[in-house]
């Protein structure tokens, strides 16, 4: 093992979900509750990259806390009947990590129960810990709390963790926690995001098999 603990983002890192589930859901939500508003897939990726989903909801659409709760309920109902597929090769990376005695954790902006459902449905090993959207806002990425709590729970040093994520909030979280970070770009081809990740991150992987080979 290169790292005792691999910490995976979920959406667009482990499962192909933004293009197939989250973006269509948000477009439907806007159509119903914010007539005349919409957002394309590439722009949706970009605003999730920076400044993040909650800031853009507040700033662009003027959503209050109550509005955000309503959007979350809408999203929860939508994802109940939509199951994303895991990227080929992800299961093998996780199985190898677990077989070697390592840990697999998840830090995501999806809910814990959705993440565990997706893992089970795709035949992925059960994660050792999950930090999802159900956490208070100050305990979600990009706040370093999830990585710091993983280190506390499993008695790990920062050098023993690798955060694997496709977007800037994961990078910001890893940098704040002092852990290594691997940027991945197999979910989309968006030059602005790829340029930032390649420039800012020592590790960048465009294909799942490239990450698998590097992990050894």
* Residue ranges covered by each domain of the chain: 5-16+86-215, 18-80
Predicted pLDDT at 213: 97
Q: What region, left, alpha or beta, does residue 74 occupy, with left being phi > 0 and alpha being psi -120 to 50 degrees?
A: alpha
Sequence-distant (6+) residues with CB within 8 A of 172 are: 141, 142
pLDDT class for 149, splitting at 50, 70, 90?
very high
The structure's pTM equals 0.90
pLDDT class for 50, splitting at 50, 70, 90?
confident
What string of H, E and C letters represents the secondary structure of the chain? CCCCEEEECCECCCEECHHHHHHHHHHHHHHHHCCCCCCCHHHHHHHHHCCCHHHHHHHHHCCCHHHHHHHHHHHHHHHHCCCCEECCCHHHHHHHHHHCCCEEEEECCCCHHHHHHHHHHCCCCCCCEEECCCCCHHHCCCCCHHHHHHHHHHCCCHHHEEEEECCHHHHHHHHHHCCEEEEECCCCCCHHHHHHHHHHCCEEECCHHHHHHHHC
Sequence-distant (6+) residues with CB within 8 A of 108 are: 9, 10, 11, 115, 130, 131, 132, 133
Nearest 5°: CA angle at 38, between 37 and 41?
Answer: 165
pLDDT class for 107, splitting at 50, 70, 90?
very high
Distance of alpha carbon 80 from the chain centroid = 18
Predicted pLDDT at 48: 87
The fold adopted by the segment(s) 5-16+86-215 is Rossmann fold (3.40.50)
Residues 151-171 have pLDDT tens digits of 999 999 999 999 999 989 999
- How much is the average pLDDT of 91-106? 98
Cα separation of 85 and 121, whole Å?
9
């Amino acid at each position: 093992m290169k790292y005792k603990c691999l910490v995976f983002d979920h959406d667009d890192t482990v499962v192909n979900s933004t293009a197939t589930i989250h973006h269509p859901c948000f477009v439907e939500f806007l159509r119903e509750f914010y007539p005349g508003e919409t957002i394309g897939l590439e722009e949706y990726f970009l605003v999730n990259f920076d400044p993040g989903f909650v800031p853009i909801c507040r700033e662009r659409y003027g959503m209050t806390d109550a509005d955000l709760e309503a959007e979350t309920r809408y999203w929860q109902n939508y994802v109940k009947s939509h199951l994303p597929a895991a990227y080929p090769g992800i299961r093998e990376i996780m199985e190898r990590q677990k077989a070697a005695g390592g840990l697999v954790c998840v830090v995501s902006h999806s809910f814990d129960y959705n993440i565990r459902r997706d893992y089970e449905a795709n035949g992925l090993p059960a994660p050792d810990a999950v930090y999802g959207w159900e956490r208070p806002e100050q305990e979600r990425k990009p706040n370093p709390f999830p990585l710091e709590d993983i280190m506390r729970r499993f008695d790990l040093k920062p050098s023993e963790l690798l955060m694997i994520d496709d977007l800037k909030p994961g990078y910001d979280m890893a940098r704040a926690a002092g852990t290594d970070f691997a940027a991945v770009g197999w979910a989309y081809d968006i030059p602005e995001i790829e340029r930032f990740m390649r420039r800012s991150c020592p590790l960048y992987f465009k294909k799942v098999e490239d990450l698998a080979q590097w992990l050894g």
